[in-house]
Amino acid sequence: MDTSEEMSNSSSISHFLLLPLADTRQLQLLHFCLFLGISLAALLGNGLIISAVACGHHLHRPMFFFLLNLALSDLGSILTTVPKTMHNSLWDTRTIYAGCASQLFMLLFFITSEFYFLTIMCYDRYVSICKPLHYRTLLGSRACAHMAADAWASAFLYSLLHKANTFSLPLCHGNALGQFFCEVPQILKLSCSCSKLGELGIIVLGVSLAFGCFVFIVFSYVQIFRAVLRIPSEQGRHKAFSTCIPHLAVVSLFLSTGPFANLKPPSISSPSLDLALSVLYSVVPPALNPLIYSLRNQELKAAVWTLMTGWFQKH
C-alpha cells in the first residue's frame, strides 16, 4: 500500500468503534448502573471538596488550593470518558464520531495535570514538614498561582502535541478500538505507518517528565519520613503522618496503574487486562481520591460536614 492510499484510508475514517463492555443486554445495563454509581460518587465527592475549599476561608492555604485543582482534574477525567461509556451501554451502541480526538486530548490533559498536581502537593508536604520556617516564602499565594498555572499549561501543551501527532498517523487497520474510550495505544494499533519516530519522541518526553516527577516524589518522601521520625512527640508524628498518608495513597494508586497501562509490552497485553487497568487509572481514582483525603484530613472533613449541614438546613 503506497502513501497516498494510506492517507486516503486514514482520512476516510469518520468514526471509531469502542469496545463493548458486555455481550448481553443484562450485563450492559449492569455496567451502566455501575458506572453511574461511580460517576455520581466522583461528582459528589469532588464537588464537595471544591465547594468546601472555595467557601471555607480557613482552608485558603496551599495544601487545599492544590487539592481543589486536583479535584478539578478528577472531575474532568471522569466526565471525559464515563458519560460516553454509559450512553453506549444504555443504548447498545459502540460508535464515537469526531469526539474521539477531543476525548483523547481531554483525557491526556486531565490525567497529565493530575500527575503534576500530585507532584506539587508532594512539594507542599516536603516544605511544610522539612522547611516549616520557609513555608510562607516558598509557597506564597503568587508562587502557588504560578505553579498551578504552569501545571495546567504544561498539561495542555503536552496533550495537544500528543493528540496532533497521534491523529497525523495514517490509519488503515480498521476503526475498532479495543477499549471503552479513545486511548493512544489502541489508536496506534490501527496505524500502518512504518515510521513512528514522532510518536516515539513524544512518548519518550512523557516518560522522562513522569520519571522526573516520580524521582522527586520518592526523594521528597524519604526526606519527609526522616524528618517525621525525628519529631519527639507521638502526637506530632501522628499529625505529620496524617497529612502525608492520603497523598501517598493517591500517588501509589495512580503510579501503579496509569504508566503500566500505557507502557506495558504487547506480549503481556490482553483485552481483559487492558480494560481492568484503564478502569483503575481513569475511573476509580476520581471516585476514591475525595474519600481518601476527607477521611484522613480532619479540617477538610469538618468543612465538608459544615457545608452539607448548612445546605440541608437551608432546604
pLDDT of residue 263: 66
**What sections of the chain are H helices per DSSP?**
3-12, 25-55, 62-91, 99-130, 135-138, 141-166, 184-188, 197-229, 234-263, 271-282, 284-296, 298-314
pLDDT tens figures, 63-120: 899 999 999 999 999 999 898 888 888 887 877 766 888 899 999 999 999 999 999 9
Query: Which SS3 state, helix, strand or coil, does residue 191 take?
Result: strand
Report the Cα 237 to chain-centroid distance in Å. 30
Give the DSSP letter of residue 193. -
Q: pLDDT tens-digit profile of 254-306? A: 777 766 666 666 666 677 777 778 888 888 888 888 888 776 677 787 777 77
CA angle at residue 290 from 252 to 209, to 5 degrees? Answer: 40
Contacts of residue 129, defined as CB under 8 A and 6 or more positions apart, other chains included, come to 224, 227, 228, 240, 244
pLDDT tens, position by position, 190-240: 887 665 666 677 778 877 888 888 889 889 888 988 888 888 888 777 777
Mean pLDDT of the chain: 82
Q: Helices 141-166 and 197-229, interaxial angle, to 10°?
A: 150
* Higher pLDDT pick, 243 / 161: 161
**Does the structural domain 11-314 have CATH classification 1.10.150.120?**
no
Q: What pTM was computed for the model?
A: 0.86
Buried/exposed code over 65-90 (b: 16+ C-beta within 10 A; e: otherwise): bbbbbbbbbbbbbbbbbbebbbebbe
Within 10 angstroms of residue 91's Cβ, the number of other Cβ atoms is: 9
CB 107, CB 80: distance < 8 Å: yes
**What is the C-alpha separation between 224 and 63, in angstroms, rounded?**
16
DSSP 105-156: HHHHHHHHHHHHHHHHHHHHHHHHHH-GGGHHHHT-HHHHHHHHHHHHHHHH
Domain map (residue ranges) of the chain? 11-314
